[in-house]
Structure 1
Amino acid sequence: MKRYRELLATRFVKSLIVSAFPARMAYGMIGLCIFFKVERETNSVAIAGLAIGLNGITGALTAGIRGSMLDRWGQRWPLRIFVPSYALLILTLNIMHSQNLILIVAFVLGMTAPPINISVRPLWIDIVPRSSLRTAYALDTVSMNTATVIGPILATTLSLSSRPEFALIVAAFSMALGGGALAIHPVSNAWIPEKKDKGQGNLIRNKAIQLLMLEGIFIGIGWGAFNVAIPSFATLEEVPWRTGWVLASLGIATVVGGIFGGLVSNKVSSLISWRRIYLIWAALTIPLAFTYPGWSMAILGAAIGLVSGAGQVFYFEVLEAVRPKGSQASSLGWIWTVEGTFMAFGSALGGWICQHYSPRYALGLTTSMTLVGLLVIFIGWQRFQPANKIPTVEEDLNAQLDSTSDQFRH
């Protein structure tokens, strides 16, 4: 844990993590907040699901656009426009009772989602030396995954309380607090987008980015089906409360996995680490269809989460190594656009499979799509070679000096 202590002692690290966390928690809350609000107003689970779907698909489709805005104009004004707009729309949704108006606001809400995570990620390069970047990505991953665990619990607790309207109010306040703090953070304000190289091609034409998008298609479909298969399986077996066991074990383990990912030695390249972790992750999904909503599924979910949390750290490192210049935010944004869009499709497909066949077939789809994603990475191995480089002692020293200079400039 010495690496984390050293990282947290670095200027701006604590404030950056703390600033962004409430906004990340708001994202963890919003899906269930919308679901319970719509279900309460319409008495229809189908309409509630439609509202979440509209919000999710518009958020995914526009993620790349929001990332491109950051790479073009910086973070100051995009965040200062998106954050209050999003918070006000949440409050507007909270006072609405008309089904059609609620669906329209949920749709627009997705398009105005502030680019919190894709804003934070490129800031680490400015405030920590290259030798600490892996640990910084791990800390960032832990923050994101912790918010993903806490947010749904808080949303469910408030939505099912005697004052359910507080759920959306808390989500709006959290976004305003966290997004506002990030918008005025000195590192965010000082961040200057990279200049593209002369004659540099379009981001989408980059072969490594294309492969990551292709991998994202399969992962989106597979894990979109997983998100529906777990609650469907538990409900059909008349043990719906066990959904919480499974998702909690998966979420908590993902947080722990992220911590361990940051402790892996820098002497092992990010590409090698990612490939090894991906192989283990894919292998762990093979028994999914043979588990049952209970201890077997919870234990396997924890194992998958542990490996997945570590894998996210190396994924960010690989992406940073292979992305073209001038795409610090848009590279991840456009990948999330592809993955999120196909995750919505995967959820719809998974729901159809669960209804007409069995949740086990939907879980089998998760496994098969993960294995195809692994195949894509292995086939395109050579495209990711920039991530196979291990920094020399001299490069690390230069990076530390650059980071120190950046901190003085901020």
Structure 2
Amino acid sequence: MSALTSSRPSPARRPSYAAVLRVPHARRTFLAALAARLSYGTVSLSVLLSVTGATGSYAVSGLVMALFGGTVVVLLPVRATLVDRYGPRRALPPLAAAHSALLCLLAALTWRPGAPPAALATAAALTGCVAPPLGPTMRAVWGRLVDDPALLRRAYSLDGVAEELLFVSGPALVGLLLRFGPPPAGLLLSAVLMLAGTCAFVRSPAVRGAVPPKREKGEKREKGEKGPSTGRFPAAPVVAAAGLGLALSAADLLVMAFAAQRSYGDGLVPWVLAALSAGSAVGGLLNGAVEWRRPAGERLAWLSAGLGAALVVAGLAPGMRTLAAAMAVAGVFVAPTLTTAYLLADETAAEGERTRAGAWVNAAVNAGSSGGSVAAGVVVGAVPLWVCFVLSGGVAVVSAVGVRVVSRLRGGGGWSRPRGGSRTSDTAPRP
């Protein structure tokens, strides 16, 4: 435990979301991280619009987006490992600078029509390769700032809800920017947000104190000696996150198919998806406010099962209003599932692997989202729509079973394990 946390008294006897922001250095650090993470809320739409405008080809846009998103997700654990090994202050600024510079290059390439597709694809792939793991890093910093288990759960819930709001407000910000400039201006905005926010983030005292374990010990690990890194893979949280991503991405497509099948048109689809997001925000805030008695691993299994059951019931909806209500109920399980997965990954990780553990969960939910869209596109139309909803919900239920199985195979280690002697078993939170 660092001096940053151990020398500070408990911020509140009855933890609240306001108490989270009253923790020393928390507000400054969190706001800086959100500014940088807003870049991920603006960049996807900016890349899509810029490449489409420069090439006039949706096929090229799809390829560029696939390369950008793929490299962001696949290499996320690798970049998180760099943060764990060298510390946020040494690892994040070079990544943010390279990412921002490549976004500027992509903006320059797409500013006028006629950009070579090969150059766009290469620039997009390289940009994704160096995307800083800001979400996992911020969650690791929360673990350093907060000792109290209940307050830590609220911090993760607040972080998860705020991140979801960033991905809602980001595209709206790009839409506003388009009134004053071309689509590549969104890429420049994303670059500025990333670089400025990351620089402010690493200058926070909370991040300056995040020294890699090897440096804290001041010695090298001898052969056969136990070190800070265990290489433990957060299997249970990753299974739950992948199931969540698969189920939700399929559900998005199923809502569109539901509206088309009943001749509602596309106008009501955004409202149904908004109900899902609203339910998720409410569920995330409730999850942080409730004093849970069960350990995080057990909660994770039940939350995944609840999401699956809600999606199955949604397939029986007679109309769009009922479907919106059912999706709102399903959303109540979304943020708590992801938050609990992040908490469990953090709780079971060694001190020098916390950023990487969270990155695996982040990568799993994004990979699941990609796979779910592909699978749903194949299944929709081949079987009745209600069966598609059952399959979507079934994925979440299967992931709940997977969490139980993985935890038992590991001898219960995936359920909860306090670290550093300061947390109890109850301490066990994409773009």
TM-score normalised by length of structure 2: 0.80
The answer as to whether partners of 1:317 and 1:387 remain within 8 angstroms in 2 is no
Higher mean C-alpha deviation, range 102-111 or range 304-313: 304-313
How far the C-alpha of 1:310 sits from its partner, in A, is 2.2
How far the C-alpha of 1:348 sits from its partner, in A, is 2.8
Give the Cα separation in 1 of the matches to 2:229 and 2:20. 35
Determine whether 1:77 maps to 2:103.
no
The answer as to whether partners of 2:302 and 2:400 remain within 8 angstroms in 1 is no
Q: Counterpart in 2 of 1:25?
A: 38
Q: Counterpart in 2 of 1:405?
A: none
Q: Could you say if the C-alpha distance between residues 36 and 110 of structure 1 is closer, same or farther in structure 2, counting changes exceeding 3 Å?
A: same
Q: Counterpart in 1 of 2:197?
A: 178
Letter in 2 for 1:62: L
Q: Counterpart in 1 of 2:342?
A: 316
How far the C-alpha of 1:231 sits from its partner, in A, is 4.9
Match of 1:225 among 239, 250, 257: 250
Letter in 2 for 1:50: L
Letter in 2 for 1:319: A
Determine whether 1:112 maps to 2:130.
yes
Letter in 2 for 1:256: V
Match of 1:65 among 78, 93, 112: 78
How far the C-alpha of 1:43 sits from its partner, in A, is 2.7
Q: Secondary structure at the match of 1:334?
A: helix
Q: Counterpart in 1 of 2:11?
A: none
Q: Counterpart in 1 of 2:289?
A: 263
Q: Counterpart in 1 of 2:377?
A: 351
Q: Secondary structure at the match of 1:96?
A: helix
How far the C-alpha of 1:160 sits from its partner, in A, is 7.2
Give the Cα separation in 1 of the matches to 2:66 and 2:269. 20
Q: Counterpart in 2 of 1:306?
A: 332
Higher mean C-alpha deviation, range 174-183 or range 379-388: 379-388
Q: Secondary structure at the match of 2:300?
A: helix
The answer as to whether partners of 1:266 and 1:390 remain within 8 angstroms in 2 is no
Q: Counterpart in 1 of 2:155?
A: 136
Match of 1:329 among 332, 348, 355: 355
The answer as to whether partners of 1:204 and 1:210 remain within 8 angstroms in 2 is no
Q: Provide Cα deviations, 1:57-85, integer angstroms capped at 9, x if missing partner.
A: 11111001011111111111211111122
Q: Equivalent residues in 2 for 1:7-406 (5 A)?
A: 7-97=20-110, 98=115, 99-131=117-149, 132-159=151-178, 163-194=182-213, 198-199=225-226, 206=233, 209-231=234-256, 239-265=265-291, 267-291=293-317, 294-354=320-380, 363-382=389-408, 383=410, 384-385=412-413, 387-388=415-416
Q: Could you say if the C-alpha distance between residues 217 and 200 of structure 1 is closer, same or farther in structure 2, counting changes exceeding 3 Å?
A: farther
Q: Could you say if the C-alpha distance between residues 205 and 187 of structure 1 is closer, same or farther in structure 2, counting changes exceeding 3 Å?
A: closer
Letter in 2 for 1:35: L
Structure 1, unmatched stretches of 5+, are 398-410
Q: Provide Cα deviations, 1:340-370, integer angstroms capped at 9, x if missing partner.
A: 3343233233334447778766544422221
Q: Could you say if the C-alpha distance between residues 33 and 395 of structure 1 is closer, same or farther in structure 2, counting changes exceeding 3 Å?
A: closer
* Structure number having the greater helix percentage: 1
Higher mean C-alpha deviation, range 116-125 or range 358-367: 358-367
Letter in 1 for 2:140: P
Q: Could you say if the C-alpha distance between residues 111 and 320 of structure 1 is closer, same or farther in structure 2, counting changes exceeding 3 Å?
A: same
Q: Secondary structure at the match of 1:380?
A: helix
The answer as to whether partners of 2:253 and 2:377 remain within 8 angstroms in 1 is yes
Q: Could you say if the C-alpha distance between residues 228 and 194 of structure 1 is closer, same or farther in structure 2, counting changes exceeding 3 Å?
A: farther
Q: Secondary structure at the match of 1:101?
A: helix
The answer as to whether partners of 1:38 and 1:48 remain within 8 angstroms in 2 is yes
Q: Could you say if the C-alpha distance between residues 159 and 334 of structure 1 is closer, same or farther in structure 2, counting changes exceeding 3 Å?
A: same
How far the C-alpha of 1:14 sits from its partner, in A, is 0.8
How far the C-alpha of 1:140 sits from its partner, in A, is 1.4
Higher mean C-alpha deviation, range 81-90 or range 248-257: 248-257
Letter in 1 for 2:47: I
The answer as to whether partners of 1:22 and 1:178 remain within 8 angstroms in 2 is yes
Q: Counterpart in 2 of 1:403?
A: none
Give the Cα separation in 1 of the matches to 2:198 and 2:388. 36
How far the C-alpha of 1:260 sits from its partner, in A, is 1.2
Give the Cα separation in 2 of the matches to 1:205 and 1:5. 34
Identity, % of aligned pairs?
Answer: 21
Structure 2, unmatched stretches of 5+, are 1-13, 215-220, 425-431
Q: Could you say if the C-alpha distance between residues 228 and 95 of structure 1 is closer, same or farther in structure 2, counting changes exceeding 3 Å?
A: farther
How far the C-alpha of 1:193 sits from its partner, in A, is 2.7
Q: Secondary structure at the match of 1:192?
A: coil
Give the Cα separation in 1 of the matches to 2:191 and 2:253. 26
Q: Could you say if the C-alpha distance between residues 336 and 103 of structure 1 is closer, same or farther in structure 2, counting changes exceeding 3 Å?
A: same
Q: Secondary structure at the match of 2:367?
A: helix
Q: Secondary structure at the match of 1:376?
A: helix
